[in-house]
A and B are shown apart, each in its own frame.
Chain A
Amino acid sequence: MTGDVIVSGAARAQRVWHRAWRILAHHRAARVGSWLLVPAVWVAISAAVPRIAGPVPVAEAFWEELTSGELYWQFGISLRRFLVGMAIGIGLGLVVGIALGIWRVFDLLLSGPAIAALAIPSIIWALLATMWFGFGDTAPIFTVAVSALPFVGVNVTTGIQAMPRDLTRMSAAFGVPAWRRLTRLLVPAVTGYLFAGTRLAMIVGWQALLLSEWFGAVDGVGFRARYWYDANRPEGTLAWIVLFIVFVVLLDRVLLERISRWVFRWRAQESTQPAPVQEA
């Protein structure tokens, strides 16, 4: 009698274990685990390192920023700087990239400075800009623009140089008008590279903006993160850092990915854009 119960209990335990294993080994469990792993590691780190706050105080600090309105206010300031800086960087990068791509003389003339420009870390631009322009809007906008420019420029140049020679020669031989050549040949060849370069430039520019605001601004998200840090409340800084990461992931993986798919929907393949050139 009792033996029977034990056997059925063991069988049941085995069945439960099997089922649990089947669920855990499923890809969907991995997907869920993927999102649980980051908070879990965070909790573990915050338990081990007292200076790094756990998710709960960080959520409280986030709530404080949200209800006081600081969140919208500071994000608005930083977004404006980001967009202005990116517009300048992309505009100049496009001009420089086209010049370098079309005239080989410019390419050779500026190859040295371009390599150097790509190698300069944004922390140096941020500190230099603070020394030059002081605290205000100019330093962050400058930092974003100069950090973004070389990435856009190099990718546009690559796109133009990768234009099929046969097509350029053929269109010259058949006397295709310049406007048609521009819209049918140059633009489709460059768009992919421009987009890939811009995407990279946006991530670099955003990170440069944060550094610049940390060191040389009296408002904006980077400054706000520093404000909490200087007030000896690292949970507030961490709340902002989480926001920065979320912003980058949303910008890159959601917004830009969607736009890229939409822009390149005429391409049959799923692969939508060339891998960006990161170094000259």
Chain B
Amino acid sequence: MVSANVSEASDRPGPAEGSTPLRGPGAGDDPAARLAGAPAPADRAAGAGASNRLLTGAVARATGKAGLVVGGLAVVVASWWGASLYVVGTTTLPTPAEVLEAILELLTSGALVRHFSASVGVICFGFAIGAAAGLPTGILIGRSRYWQILLEGPIMVLVSLPGLAFGVLMLAAFGLGPTGPVVAAALVAMPYVAINVAEGIRAVDRDLLRMSQSYRCSRAEIVRHVLIPSILPYLFASLRYAFAQGWKIVAIVEVFGATAGIGFMIRATYQSYAVDGMLAWTISFIALMLFVERIVLVQVENRVFRWRAG
């Protein structure tokens, strides 16, 4: 899983984490940077030739790999089961069967769908607001050094804001309800979008820009065909990071003061001291979050960048 990520880094724009300078793979003589961009050594055999023996070997290897991944999960579940039955007791750690039962109950009662969609709505709405604020900010930062210096401090503070601060401040400012989580999601997304868009602006191909100017392209044409295509990948990088970070912050804000959503339910199970409910929400949270990040966002990204492959 890790090697896939390393190779991924080479074809995606680097998402900016804080104000860490962005480094392209293979840039300069830094050995670490060169390594990070190197293709993953594994998974080499898959594409090599169509020889039948090779193919069966690859299939066997793939099933072996899947078997190991499943086996790993099985080991974790088994040790969980053993620990809950023989070490700490089922009140402290309910068995996987009990937690599964709780998840099924959440599914059939509709609570899972209701609260999950509430949280997803909050994150999407928040990201829309954050992107709307972050886009012009990013353009300003990317184009002018003055604005970059001016907005450096506020963005750093915003990025360093701990989850607890989001929870307390949103509760204090907006009380109970969905406004607090939405504003929090927007505040999480804004700096990511701004930093990445600025990075995208700086990465615009100057030659392409000059060429389109000398061919007398209109401003709208330049924006449509040069600027937007080169910023879009960076915007997507920020979307992925804003989602990954936004989930966690929204969960915290919802624990503090929401009337619906995953965090609200986590708090409810905490207050009724239901460990099985807590674990059920945790597992659903992880599953749904990974579903959105790995499948939905990847699909959207593939669709948006279809023109690249062709």
Contacts and interface: CB of A to CB of B under 8 A. Distances in A.
Given A49-B173, A51-B172, A158-B2, A123 B35 contact: no
Interface in B45-76: 65, 68-73, 75-76
10 contacts: A27-B149, A112-B76, A124-B251, A130-B270, A158-B5, A162-B6, A162-B32, A241-B169, A271-B27, A277-B2
Contacts of A9: none
Contacts of B38: 162, 164
Contacts of A113: 72-73, 76
A109 B68 contact: yes
A120 B263 CA distance: 12
B28 interface: yes
B32 A273 contact: yes
Contacts of B27: 271
A52 B172 contact: yes
Nearest to A154: B2
B176 to A, nearest CB: 13
Interface stretch (A56-64, A72-80, A82-90, A205-213): A205-213
Given A38-B154, A49-B172, A109 B17 contact: no
A120 B286 contact: yes
A192 B285 CA distance: 32
Contacts of B278: 124, 127-128, 131
B286 A30 contact: no
B290 A119 contact: yes
A123 B163 contact: yes
Interface of A: 25, 27, 30-31, 33-35, 37-38, 41, 45, 49, 51-52, 100, 104-105, 107-116, 119-124, 127-128, 130-132, 154, 157-158, 161-165, 189, 192-193, 200, 203, 206-207, 210-211, 214-215, 222, 225, 229, 234, 237, 241, 244-245, 248-249, 252-253, 267-269, 271, 273-280
A121 B252 contact: yes
Given A38-B154, A131-B275, A244-B165, 5 more contacts: A27-B149, A131-B273, A162-B32, A245-B161, A275-B9
Contact of B14 (A33, A234, A275): A275
Contacts, number: 209
Interface residues of B, number: 79
Contacts of A279: 5, 244, 293
Given A52-B173, A273-B32, A108 B162 contact: no
A249 B2 contact: no
A237 B168 contact: yes
Nearest to A128: B278
A245 B169 CA distance: 13
A123 B168 contact: no
A235 B15 CA distance: 36
Contacts of B65: 108
Given A121-B285, A127-B278, A234-B172, A35 B153 contact: yes
Contacts of B255: 123, 127
A62 to B, nearest CB: 15
Nearest to A215: B270
A123 B264 CA distance: 12
B289 interface: yes
Given A111-B1, A269-B28, A275-B36, A119 B6 contact: no
A203 B160 CA distance: 9
A37 B29 contact: no
A123 B263 contact: yes
Interface string B220-249: 000000000000000000000100100110
